[in-house]
Amino acid sequence: MSAYEVVIGLEVHAQMLTASKIFCGCSTRFGAEANTQVCPVCAAFPGVLPVLNRQAVEFAVRTGLAIEGEVRTVSEYSRKNYFYPDLPAGYQITQYELPIVLGGHLEIEDEQGRRRRIGITRIHMEVDAGKSLHEGIPGASWVDLNRTGVPLMEIVSEPDLRSAEEAGLYLKKLRALLRCLGVCDGNMEQGSLRCDANVSIRPKGATTFGTRCEIKNLNSIRNVQRAIAWEMERHIEIVEDGGSIVQETRLWDANKGETRSMRSKEEAHDYRYFPEPDLPPLLLTEERIAKIRAALPELPEQRRARFEADYGLSGYDAGVLTAAMELADYFETALGVLREAGFQDPKGVANWVMGDLLGYLNRSGLEIGDSPVSSTQLARLLIMVLEGTISGKMAKQVFGQMCASGGEPEAIVAEQGLAQVSDQGAIAAAIDAVLAANPAQVAQYRAGKTQVMGFLVGQVMKATKGQANPGLLNTLLTEKLKG
């Protein structure tokens, strides 16, 4: 056990899913040809002025309410001044002293079911910058301003996270929440969710903070965790060698699996923040906030509680199923199809979804949205089991085929003749044949050695290619053996 503990705070930038940019009417669509979604406002031509996107404000409020933060009725925009080619105005419009949301929290839960409350300091709104392109252009760089002006939320956590794993859990939880709220698609690879990590170490039990480093360029949850773990080791090594940590900004190099210095505190920018004079303070009435609150969707935590209460699921199962909105929807849709057919088996459906389905998806590297088996298809497969058409074991086989090559469960069962045989006559005939072929075992049974029952059942199953209805088989065989 290490004598140190790591202290982590995350700054998450979430691109908001608005149709237009935050201060002009340009589209925010991802992947368009460079500089095709640019107007004089987002390119900061002389004389242009920003006009705030109402939808972006609504999204920030929605998020603030969902983390139980204080949505401020008065907030303010500021300018953060610095020069960079992809920042056309020479300043970023952001919120500084008076952000739109103050405080809040998210609860995370580790594999052992321990719950921890992670504080959120603030959420503020700001504008995204463009993109500089350096590749394939010798001696020059190009600038793409399509992303310039896309609205961002910066969600700043308290330094409450104590391991790389916790940081990952927090990010997953936050991403699920943002997706559930419909405010961000949470796609880290495309950059619509970005994360910087502040990392420091301290001796276990200490209450003061060590010197921190900020790590940038983290484009997946895995990289967040790798970078934190690596950085923690670096700090411990330095401290154990008698050195001290330099406060600086570091870049994560995913290929080399290490962080490297980007700039020190001394060379840090002086951003010269001041209130944005082109935008009046943002005033929100209590009525407007209440209206947004009333329109909030069911949040992951609420859904989890409902899953436990209504479906009798364990806390862990309910937690897994509600970790992503799509997964919870999948589960509930399947349950609905079952209900239509007159069945109630939430625990069974949960087992299938968490076991077979998630297992397959994880092995294949697929998201729930890409699942080859739809929720209704899975439900219909389970109905066949509940109706006794196929056995549970058979269902696993059918599910495997549905995953591998698609197809409707009923068709697969019919095509391959997998339907359970519940025809008494057919089973009786198979039993007769097996009893005739195994007189010794029959005699043993009748002499009181009832263990041979298993062998005989197996033989009948073999004869019926596993399709015999097990219950019926048992009843008929026991009767025949009684003789």
Partner 1 sequence: MNPVHLSLTEAARLLADRSLSATELTRACLEAIRQQDATLNAFITVAEPQALAAAEQADQQLAKGDAPPLTGLPLAIKDIFCTTDMPTTCGSRMLKGFLSPYESTVTRRLRQAGAVLLGKTNMDEFAMGSSTETSHFGPTRNPWDPERTPGGSSGGSAVAVAAGLALGATGTDTGGSIRQPAALNGITGLKPTYGRVSRYGMVAFASSLDQAGPMTRSVEDAALLLQTMAGHDPLDATSIPEDPPRYADSLERSVKGLKIGLPKEYFPAELTDAIRNPLHEAQELFRRLGAELVPVSLPHTSYAIQTYYILAPAEASSNLARYDGVKFGYRCQQPRDLADLYCRSRAEGFGAEVKRRIMLGTYVLSSGYYDAFYRKAQKVRRLIADDFAAAFREVDVLLTPTAPDVAFRLGEKTDDPVAMYLSDIFTINVNLAGLPALSLPCGLHEGRLPVGMQLIGPPLGEEVLFQTGHAFQRNSDWHRRRPQPVANGAAS
Nearer to partner 1, 140 or 436 (CB): 140
Q: Say whether residue 89 binds partner 1 (CB under 8 A).
A: yes
Residue 421's region, left for phi above 0, alpha for psi from -120 to 50, else beta, is: beta
Residues in contact with partner 1, shown as a per-residue x/- string from 111 to 150 under the rule CB under 8 A: --------------------------------x-------
Nearer to partner 1, 66 or 143 (CB): 143
- # chain residues binding partner 1, by CB under 8 A: 28
Q: How far is the CB of 61 from partner 1 (least distance, A)?
A: 18
Nearer to partner 1, 52 or 481 (CB): 52
Q: Pick one of 267, 270, 286, 287: the residue that binds partner 1 (CB under 8 A).
A: 270
Q: How far is the CB of 176 from partner 1 (least distance, A)?
A: 34
Residues of this chain, 11-50, that bind partner 1 according to CB under 8 A: 40, 43-50
Q: Pick one of 21, 72, 79, 235: the residue that binds partner 1 (CB under 8 A).
A: 79
Nearer to partner 1, 51 or 437 (CB): 51
Nearer to partner 1, 209 or 274 (CB): 274
Neighbours of 399 (CB within 10 A): 21
Nearer to partner 1, 47 or 454 (CB): 47
Instruction: Give the binding range for partner 1 (CB under 8 A) out of 63-71, 80-88, 158-166, 381-389.
Output: 80-88
Nearer to partner 1, 52 or 236 (CB): 52
Nearer to partner 1, 277 or 342 (CB): 277
Residue 186's region, left for phi above 0, alpha for psi from -120 to 50, else beta, is: left
What token pair was written down for 233? 């080791």
Q: How far is the CB of 41 from partner 1 (least distance, A)?
A: 8
Q: Say whether residue 274 binds partner 1 (CB under 8 A).
A: yes
Q: Pick one of 4, 59, 91, 170: the residue that binds partner 1 (CB under 8 A).
A: 91
Nearer to partner 1, 282 or 385 (CB): 282
Q: How far is the CB of 117 from partner 1 (least distance, A)?
A: 34
Q: How far is the CB of 38 from partner 1 (least distance, A)?
A: 10
CA-nearest of 186, 127, 185, 146 to 32 is 146
Instruction: Give the binding range for partner 1 (CB under 8 A) out of 160-168, 271-279, 352-360, 424-432.
Output: 271-279
Distance CA 68, CA 122 (A): 11
Q: Pick one of 29, 222, 272, 291: the residue that binds partner 1 (CB under 8 A).
A: 272
Q: Pick one of 3, 19, 74, 85: the residue that binds partner 1 (CB under 8 A).
A: 85
Residues of this chain, 169-188, that bind partner 1 according to CB under 8 A: none
Q: How far is the CB of 24 from partner 1 (least distance, A)?
A: 9
Distance CA 224, CA 193 (A): 12
Nearer to partner 1, 270 or 286 (CB): 270
Residue-wise burial string across 129-139, b where 16 or more C-beta atoms lie within 10 A, e elsewhere: bbbeeeeeeee
Residue-wise burial string across 344-372, b where 16 or more C-beta atoms lie within 10 A, e elsewhere: ebbebbbebbbebbbebbeeeeeebeebb
Nearer to partner 1, 278 or 387 (CB): 278
CB 245 within 8 A of CB 239: yes
Q: How far is the CB of 279 from partner 1 (least distance, A)?
A: 5
Q: How far is the CB of 52 from partner 1 (least distance, A)?
A: 7
Q: Say whether residue 81 binds partner 1 (CB under 8 A).
A: yes
Q: Say whether residue 57 binds partner 1 (CB under 8 A).
A: no
Instruction: Give the binding range for partner 1 (CB under 8 A) out of 86-94, 362-370, 419-427, 468-476.
Output: 86-94
Q: Say whether residue 83 binds partner 1 (CB under 8 A).
A: yes
Q: How far is the CB of 282 from partner 1 (least distance, A)?
A: 10
Nearer to partner 1, 78 or 371 (CB): 78
Residues in contact with partner 1, shown as a per-residue x/- string from 278 to 297 under the rule CB under 8 A: xxx-----------------
The contact set with partner 1 (CB under 8 A) reads: 40, 43-52, 79, 81, 83, 85, 88-91, 143, 270, 272-274, 277-280
